[in-house]
A = this chain, B = another copy of it.
């Protein structure tokens, strides 16, 4: 199989990730729930992984790294724990349903106001509109770092400055960028980010988290056993326990930590460069196909791979072939895995005019090869010619 659906999950995991998972299965007990060696070792690994994650995202306090089961859970915790009745929030049309649906639910249950910033014809956010939508009751800006549909990158430095200047919390969904693009919370002024573990970070499913880099106090979401303060009727006040309840996914956290080790070893800029070189190769190989359409600013792909500022996603459609059919042909005839149709980002499909046809999304990982890309180009051309 040629796997180009890495934006859904990275299929091939580094060997050290698989080893770490098996090590955890064999040697680690429950963390924070016993004083014997296997439980202490487990607790130590969990803490070290918090440190790795904190450092990886340029954050300063490992105790403010909260483990969740995926980015969606992190986003739910942050959004439901932050907004009160009557608050206003600025977001964008590039958001995934993991942000939209919590916001819509808050709109309905807590009467919060939402403004969505649109995109221009090149697919970029209309940056000058952020400031225009700030109201007296605006509490936060929440943006998707990389669109899971178009692969366009949001300019976090710009938005971060706008947020800071107006004293707003800056929250970022890094599901599609963590592990592919360097993120520095301190530099960009991100207060809270939510990540998933099983995509660019090469961890297993069931992992993800929240990283907090400010004194923001997020209200509890799930509550329950915390291993400490057993006799307190409420969840402990302190992070991370404040937002974590019940037994952690030890095996998953071990795998996630190993994924970050792998990225640090290769170097995130090398990973980005390789993925951009593959993306550019695919783009160059198919751009002259009659009726092909790209839903992103392709001028970026004329640059050298190391200079390309884009997520590891190439979104296309070809006149006369529904995106779902293209994905089916590629899957059934060529064993090439991509995702098509709607991508859980309804406002983005509306903005791009692809509500009906969807989009065929090719997404890359460090483990893809030039030979695979060439085979994909050949396959697409054959399908078009038929």
Contacts and interface: CB of A to CB of B under 8 A. Distances in A.
A13 B337 CA distance: 33
A225 B344 contact: yes
Given A5-B30, A5-B36, A30-B5, A75 B224 contact: yes
Nearest to A342: B230
B38 A337 contact: yes
A220 B34 contact: no
Interface in A226-281: 226-227, 230-231, 233-235, 245-252
A129 B251 CA distance: 42
Interface in A138-182: none
Interface string A9-21: 1010100001001
B235 A101 contact: yes
Interface stretch (A119-127, A301-309, A324-332): A324-332
Nearest to A235: B101
A93 interface: no
A248 B205 contact: yes
A26 to B, nearest CB: 8
Contacts of A104: 233-234
What size tier do the contact residues of chain A reach? 35 or more
Contact of A35 (B21, B36, B327): B327
B69 A246 contact: yes
A29 interface: yes
A335 B38 CA distance: 10
A100 B246 CA distance: 13
Nearest to A96: B225
Contacts of A9: 29-30, 33, 247, 250
Contact of A234 (B101, B336, B342): B101
Contacts of A73: 69, 222, 245-246
Contact of A339 (B34, B70, B206): B34
Task: Enumerate the 8 nearest inter-chain pairs by beta-carbon distance, A residue then B residue, closest first.
Answer: A206-B249, A72-B246, A98-B224, A72-B224, A36-B337, A230-B342, A70-B246, A69-B69
